[in-house]
Structure 1
Amino acid sequence: VCYRRRGHNEMDEPMFTQPLMYKQIHKQVPVLKKYADKLIADGTVTLQEFEEEIAKYDRICEEAYTRSKDNKILHIKHWLDSPWPGFFNVDGEPKSMSCPPTGISEELLTHIGNVASSVPVEDFKIHSGLSRILKARSEMTKNRLVDWALAEYMAFGSVLKEGIHVRLSGQDVERGTF
């Protein structure tokens, strides 16, 4: 059996959508602890060795995170399995991809962020967890910061503001994430 202990992403609060299941999940001992306890009990590693490995891994992650702040250019070529020869050719001739103008003003993004962090009507009572999420979203908007979930919300909002219908499907819709 496999599960996500903390939900799908930073904006997902599974206690809203699947409270009974997540009450059971929270009672479970984390997999890392179970595995470490077994390895230590079997004599495969000592507690000190385990703790050193955890510290080493944390250091690797912190160093990578620090280095990532210096990256200014995303080199997509590194992500491709192999280049697609001829993909941008038509009848053997190179064809440039047109890129229509896109983008919206910061003012509109701020408006969408404010709407995304507000309650529909004044006397609307919301769950305290959702209230916390909306407050955090409002702070991000005020401070000109955007996480992945707010970026998605802003993207959907900007497309809707242009009068284009947006339809979501899949797991997130079924679970009530959006």
Structure 2
Amino acid sequence: MTRLVHPRIVAPVLAALLAIGVAGCTAATTPSSSEPNPSTSAPDDSASADPAPDATTIGATCETLLAPDAYVELEAGGLEARAPTLFDPIAAEIADEGGLVCSWGRPNTDNVVDVAQLAIGDDESRWMSALAEAGYEQDDDPVPGGYRGRPDAANGISPVVVIETGTLTYVSTPTYAAFLRPAS
């Protein structure tokens, strides 16, 4: 006559924590728009703080970064917004520079789509060097301006980085590179 009440309690608590975690991730992109003034007074921080305001200036959010069809496809595939876990060196560097980082995943699987975007302005040559060091090669498939990274050892999928209009965008799954909205 022993009942396990814990699973009934644990599931809603975990759902609430996940919702709070996701809300915390998306909220992190909005305060960056209030950081431009402090970052200009600190020269050492300006290189890493400037991209986040530029990313918000172009209007990018996790809800608008991709075309509407992409969100339909994410939902149809059972992928939900989640906290990002970045393994690719380019994606990690975009995050370190204050870029917008979005992630969707299917619960209890390793099926994940990560997208990271950073306004780079005229700093394209530095990023070209970083791409070469990370093993990325120019490949206009699936989109023009694309660079393919090394295939993931676990799933064989090559990430794509797209450079367009002063913006650098990392996409962990090449299919979603075609869904990127113009950065301007």
Q: Same fold (TM over 0.5)?
A: no
Query: Which structure's residues are more often strand, by fraction?
Result: 2
Structure 1 length-normalised TM:
0.28
Query: Which structure's residues are more often helix, by fraction?
Result: 1
Structure 2 length-normalised TM:
0.27
